[in-house]
Amino acid sequence: MLENVGKTYNGTPVLAGINAGFTAPELVAIAGPNGAGKSTMLGIMSGLRGEYEGRCVYGGTEVVRWRKRLFAREVSFVPQNLRLEFPFTAEEVVLMGRTAHENGLFESPDDFEAVEHAMRITDTLAFRKRDFRSLSGGEKQRVILAAALAQEPRTLLLDEPTTFLDIRHQLAIYELLRELCRTRGLLIVAVTHDLNLAAAYADRIVMLKRGRIVIDAPPERVISAKIIADVFGVAAEISHTRAGRPWIVYGS
């Protein structure tokens, strides 16, 4: 839960007056133009950005007051990219996601089972033994997601999870995220620039502009020509899919 959250960098406010609640199971998209504060908001929620105004509470406790190991069992953060200097295999990177559950020096059968499952559902088993550094951007992104899922969190926070993915894997990842909400009861919050993916899969969209929430509502209320023009400064026409979800065609 975010209560009147604000964040300033070098005297410049990047977030102001942010109020938002999140309840599992739910898939929430955070959208908005570049510089709107999307990644900053997600960083505060993940406990990685301190010194903010207001309150960011998870499980009744301010996120910055959680013990890191316990918080990692609850909340997993998926960055856009991961830079590694050493030759870890994709499988070893996913195994790192089990760190919060380690009780000794060695991995347990439960750890390897969680890794196997996470790599299977993210379609990464085919390159499990390859050097992570040799993978394409999209392959790396799926491995990072697998590591987060191997962590077995209750909440998943993702910063642009489909940036480097081809269309098939973009759809597959969002199908997976929606399924995880339904079957595991997860809370999933994802920053995205793709409004059509957000409209197709999210339960609600939090739209930001210049560090403030413009609207926080289901896609049917957020995706309109007026809001897109006001937030992004572009013309758009809205149609609907056979499932009744809004679909954006950009341009006049």
Write a three-state SS string for 197-218: HHHHHCCEEEEEECCEEEEEEC
Task: Label residue 101 by pLDDT band (50, 70, 90).
Answer: confident
* Cα distance between residue 110 and residue 105, in whole Å: 14
* Cα distance between residue 214 and residue 179, in whole Å: 28
Q: What residue numbers bound the domain in which 55 lies?
A: 2-85+153-250
Report yes or no on 135 lying in a domain: no
Residue 229: what pLDDT? Answer: 97
Report yes or no on 190 lying in a domain: yes
* Cα distance between residue 245 and residue 238, in whole Å: 10
Domains in the chain, number: 1
Task: Label residue 103 by pLDDT band (50, 70, 90).
Answer: low
pLDDT in tens, 7-20: 999 889 999 999 99
CATH number of the domain that 237 lies in? 3.40.50.300
Classify burial at 77, counting beta carbons within 10 Å of its beta carbon; exposed 0-12, middle 13-18, buried 19 or more: buried
Report yes or no on 136 lying in a domain: no
pTM: 0.92
Report yes or no on 78 lying in a domain: yes
